């Protein structure tokens, strides 16, 4: 439950931070692209922070929670990085994070 609280609070912080920082980008196209990456990152971040509250109900809560936290950090972290810097080198981590998140949801079937 504590990790869900930390995740939710950090999702709200990142949403506000990205809105504040990204408004200063001069190019409208770059601003819209960066905001799109930030929005996806924040949606996944908040959704999976909320889902962490249900981890005690999973048959393998440690496995599911670990996959969900790792996936959220990798996916949302790389998307936030891209939104804030415009650099693409962390993009493979988004893919890895996505697979971790899929595995976390599938681990609920076990």
**pTM: predicted TM-score of the whole model, two decimal places:** 0.94
Number of domains forming the structure of the chain: 1
Question: pLDDT value at position 21?
Answer: 94
Q: Which structural domain range is residue 50 located in?
A: 2-107
Of residues 60 and 26, which shows the higher confidence score? 60
Tell me the per-residue pLDDT of 32-91, one tens digit each, with 9 for 90 and over: 999 999 999 999 999 999 999 999 999 999 999 999 999 999 999 999 999 999 999 999
Q: In angstroms, how far is CA 55 from the centroid of its own chain?
A: 17
Question: pLDDT value at position 1?
Answer: 83
Q: What is the mean pLDDT of residues 93-101?
A: 98
Whole-angstrom distance, CA of residue 42 vs CA of residue 8: 10
């Amino acid at each position: 439950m504590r990790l869900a609280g930390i995740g939710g609070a950090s999702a709200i912080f990142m949403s506000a931070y990205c809105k504040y920082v990204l408004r200063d980008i001069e190019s409208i196209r770059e601003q819209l692209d960066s905001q799109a990456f930030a929005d996806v990152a924040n949606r996944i971040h908040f959704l999976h922070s909320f889902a962490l509250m249900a981890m005690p109900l999973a048959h393998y809560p440690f496995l599911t929670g670990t996959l969900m936290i790792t996936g959220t950090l990798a996916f949302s972290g790389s998307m936030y990085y891209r939104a804030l810097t415009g650099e693409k080198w962390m993009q493979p981590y988004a893919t890895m994070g996505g697979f971790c998140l899929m595995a976390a949801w599938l681990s609920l079937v076990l």
